[in-house]
Structure 1
Amino acid sequence: MIFDYVILGGGSAGAVLAARLSEEAEVRVCLVEAGNAAKDILVRAPALVAALVPGYLRAHNWALQTVPQPGLNGRRGFQPRGRGLGGSSAINAMLYVRGHPSDYDHWAAMGAVGWDWGSCLPWFLRAERNMRGASDLHGATGPLQVGDQRRPRKISRAFIEACAAVHCPENDDFNGPLQEGAGLYQVTQFWDGPKKGERCSAAAGYLHPVMGRPNLTVLTGCRAEKVLTAGGRAIGAEVRRGGEKLRLEARAEVILSAGAFGSPQLLMLSGIGPGAHLRERGIAVVHDLPGVGLNLHDHLDYILSYTSPRRDVVGLNPRGLMRLARAAGGWRKHGEGLFASPMAEGGAFLRSSPEVEIPDLQIHFVTGIVDQHMRKLHTSDGWSAHICALRPQSRGSLRLASQNPRRAPLIDPAFLADPRDEEVMLRAARLLEQIVTAAPLAPWRGRRLYPHDGSERAIMADIRARADTVYHPVGTCRMGTDAGAVVDPHLKVHGVAGLRVVDASVMPQVVGGNTNAPTIMIAERAADFIRRARKGA
Structure 2
Amino acid sequence: MSLNKAVMLLKIIFILTAATSIQGKVYHPSYIDEASTFASSSEYDYIVIGGGTAGCPLAATLSQKYKVLLLERGGSPYGNPNVTQMQNFHISLMDTSPDSPSQPFVSTDGVINARARVLGGGTCINAGFYSRASPSFVKSVGWQEDFVNDSYRWIERQIVHCPNLAPWQAAVRDGLLMAGVSPFNGYTYDHVYGTKVGGTIFDKSGYRSTAADLLSAANHTNLRVLLRATVLKIRFDQSGSRPKAVGVLFKDENGNHHLASLNVGEGKSQVIISAGAIGSPQLLMLSGIGPKSHLKAKKVPVVLHNKFVGKGMADNPLNSIFIPTKKQVKQSLIQIVGITKYGSYIEASSGFSQSSKSISYHHGIMSAEAGQLATIPPKERSFEAISSYIEKKVKKKIPIEAFRGGFILSKIAGPNSKGHLKLIDTNIDNNPEVTFNYFSDPFDLHRCVKGIETIAKMVHTSHLLNLTNDDDYSMKMLLNISVDANINFIPKHFNDTSSLEQFCKDTVITIWHYHGGCQVGKVVDSDYKLLGVDGAMVVDGSTFLKSPGTNPQATVLMMGRYVGVKILRERLGSEAGV
Measured after TM superposition, the shift of residue 52 of structure 1 is: 2.2
Q: Which residue of 2 is the match for residue 350 of structure 1?
A: 340
Q: Distance in 1 between matches of 2:138 and 2:561?
A: 16
Q: Which residue of 2 is the match for residue 357 of structure 1?
A: none
Measured after TM superposition, the shift of residue 32 of structure 1 is: 0.8
- Any idea what the Cα deviations from partners look like across 1:203-231, whole Å, max 9, x if unmatched? 12x12x36892332211011111000003
Q: Which residue of 1 is the match for residue 155 of structure 2?
A: 127
Q: Which residue of 2 is the match for residue 386 of structure 1?
A: 409
1:472 aligns with 2:455: no
More helix by share: 2
Q: Distance in 2 between matches of 1:211 and 1:218?
A: 11
Please, which of 145, 149, 166 is the counterpart of residue 163 of structure 2?
149
Are the structure 2 counterparts of residues 416 and 432 from structure 1 closer, same or farther at C-alpha, using a change threshold of 3 Å? same
Q: Is the 8 A contact 1:211 1:218 kept in 2?
A: no
Q: Is the 8 A contact 1:161 1:440 kept in 2?
A: yes
Measured after TM superposition, the shift of residue 493 of structure 1 is: 0.3
Q: Which residue of 2 is the match for residue 104 of structure 1?
A: 138
Q: Which residue of 2 is the match for residue 12 of structure 1?
A: 53
Are the structure 2 counterparts of residues 305 and 128 from structure 1 closer, same or farther at C-alpha, using a change threshold of 3 Å? same
Q: Is the 8 A contact 2:90 2:366 kept in 1?
A: no
Larger Rg: 2
Please, which of 36, 47, 54 is the counterpart of residue 94 of structure 2?
54
Are the structure 2 counterparts of residues 276 and 103 from structure 1 closer, same or farther at C-alpha, using a change threshold of 3 Å? same
Measured after TM superposition, the shift of residue 197 of structure 1 is: 4.6
Q: Which SS does the other structure have where 1:63 is aligned?
A: strand
Please, which of 257, 273, 282 is the counterpart of residue 256 of structure 1?
273
Measured after TM superposition, the shift of residue 119 of structure 1 is: 5.1
Trace 1:63-102 onto structure 2 (pairs within 5 A): 63-67=104-108, 69=109, 76-102=110-136
Q: Which residue of 2 is the match for residue 338 of structure 1?
A: none
Measured after TM superposition, the shift of residue 118 of structure 1 is: 5.2
Please, which of 76, 90, 100 is the counterpart of residue 37 of structure 1?
76
Q: Which residue of 2 is the match for residue 320 of structure 1?
A: none
**Which deviates the most, 256-265 or 413-422?**
413-422
Q: Distance in 1 between matches of 2:328 and 2:566?
A: 51
- Any idea what the Cα deviations from partners look like across 1:159-198, whole Å, max 9, x if unmatched? 111112122232213533x61222333112347xxxx652
Are the structure 2 counterparts of residues 212 and 479 from structure 1 closer, same or farther at C-alpha, using a change threshold of 3 Å? closer
Q: 2:291 corresponds to which letter in structure 1? A: P
Which consecutive unaligned segments of at least 5 residues does structure 1 have?
Answer: 70-75, 108-113, 130-142, 315-340, 353-359
Q: Which residue of 2 is the match for residue 110 of structure 1?
A: none
Measured after TM superposition, the shift of residue 308 of structure 1 is: 1.1
1:414 aligns with 2:437: yes
Q: 2:503 corresponds to which letter in structure 1? A: D
**Which deviates the most, 260-269 or 37-46?**
37-46
Please, which of 198, 210, 213 is the counterpart of residue 201 of structure 1?
210
Measured after TM superposition, the shift of residue 416 of structure 1 is: 1.0
Please, which of 151, 175, 180 is the counterpart of residue 189 of structure 2?
175
Q: Which residue of 2 is the match for residue 133 of structure 1?
A: none
Please, which of 130, 148, 173 is the counterpart of residue 160 of structure 1?
173
**Which deviates the most, 114-123 or 166-175?**
114-123
Please, which of 217, 221, 229 is the counterpart of residue 214 of structure 1?
221
Q: Which residue of 2 is the match for residue 233 of structure 1?
A: 244
**Which deviates the most, 7-16 or 54-63?**
54-63
Q: Which residue of 1 is the match for residue 447 of structure 2?
A: 424
Flag as ranges the 4+ runs of structure 1 deviating above 4 A: 116-119, 373-379
Identity score, percent: 25
Q: Distance in 1 between matches of 2:152 and 2:209?
A: 16
Are the structure 2 counterparts of residues 387 and 174 from structure 1 closer, same or farther at C-alpha, using a change threshold of 3 Å? farther
Q: Which residue of 2 is the match for residue 139 of structure 1?
A: none
Which consecutive unaligned segments of at least 5 residues does structure 2 have?
Answer: 1-39, 264-268, 352-363, 371-389, 469-473, 483-488
- Any idea what the Cα deviations from partners look like across 1:96-118, whole Å, max 9, x if unmatched? 111321122233xxxxxx32645
Q: Is the 8 A contact 2:63 2:219 kept in 1?
A: no
- Any idea what the Cα deviations from partners look like across 1:388-438, whole Å, max 9, x if unmatched? 110211111111112222221111111111122111111121112111222
Q: Is the 8 A contact 1:372 1:466 kept in 2?
A: no
- Number of equivalent positions: 462
Q: Is the 8 A contact 1:106 1:116 kept in 2?
A: no
Trace 1:290-369 onto structure 2 (pairs within 5 A): 290-314=307-331, 341=332, 343-352=333-342, 360-368=343-351, 369=364
Q: Is the 8 A contact 1:54 1:80 kept in 2?
A: no
Q: Is the 8 A contact 1:5 1:250 kept in 2?
A: yes
Q: 1:464 corresponds to which letter in structure 2? A: K
1:494 aligns with 2:528: no
Q: Distance in 1 between matches of 2:188 and 2:314?
A: 23
Q: Which residue of 1 is the match for residue 22 of structure 2?
A: none
TM-score, L = length of structure 1: 0.81
Measured after TM superposition, the shift of residue 501 of structure 1 is: 0.5
Are the structure 2 counterparts of residues 491 and 115 from structure 1 closer, same or farther at C-alpha, using a change threshold of 3 Å? same
Measured after TM superposition, the shift of residue 351 of structure 1 is: 2.1
Q: Distance in 1 between matches of 2:557 and 2:167?
A: 32
Q: Which SS does the other structure have where 2:549 is aligned?
A: coil
Q: Which SS does the other structure have where 1:344 is aligned?
A: coil
Q: Is the 8 A contact 1:7 1:254 kept in 2?
A: yes
Q: Which residue of 2 is the match for residue 503 of structure 1?
A: 540
Q: Which residue of 2 is the match for residue 372 of structure 1?
A: 367
Q: Distance in 1 between matches of 2:218 and 2:81?
A: 19
Q: Which residue of 1 is the match for residue 302 of structure 2?
A: 285
Q: Which residue of 2 is the match for residue 402 of structure 1?
A: 425
Q: Which SS does the other structure have where 2:554 is aligned?
A: helix
Q: 2:63 corresponds to which letter in structure 1? A: S
Are the structure 2 counterparts of residues 363 and 102 from structure 1 closer, same or farther at C-alpha, using a change threshold of 3 Å? same
Q: 2:148 corresponds to which letter in structure 1? A: C
**Which deviates the most, 262-271 or 215-224?**
215-224
**Which deviates the most, 516-525 or 368-377?**
368-377
1:453 aligns with 2:493: yes
Q: Is the 8 A contact 1:370 1:383 kept in 2?
A: no
Q: Is the 8 A contact 2:235 2:247 kept in 1?
A: yes
Q: Which SS does the other structure have where 1:401 is aligned?
A: coil
Measured after TM superposition, the shift of residue 120 of structure 1 is: 2.7
CA RMSD of aligned residues (A): 2.2
Q: Is the 8 A contact 2:417 2:438 kept in 1?
A: yes
Q: Distance in 1 between matches of 2:426 and 2:368?
A: 30
Q: Which SS does the other structure have where 1:279 is aligned?
A: helix
Q: Which SS does the other structure have where 1:50 is aligned?
A: helix
Q: Distance in 2 between matches of 1:99 and 1:88?
A: 17
- Any idea what the Cα deviations from partners look like across 1:287-339, whole Å, max 9, x if unmatched? 1122111111121001000221022334xxxxxxxxxxxxxxxxxxxxxxxxx
Q: Distance in 2 between matches of 1:238 and 1:418?
A: 40
Q: 2:493 corresponds to which letter in structure 1? A: D
Q: Distance in 1 between matches of 2:199 and 2:572?
A: 37
Please, which of 176, 197, 202 is the counterpart of residue 189 of structure 1?
202
Are the structure 2 counterparts of residues 370 and 43 from structure 1 closer, same or farther at C-alpha, using a change threshold of 3 Å? same
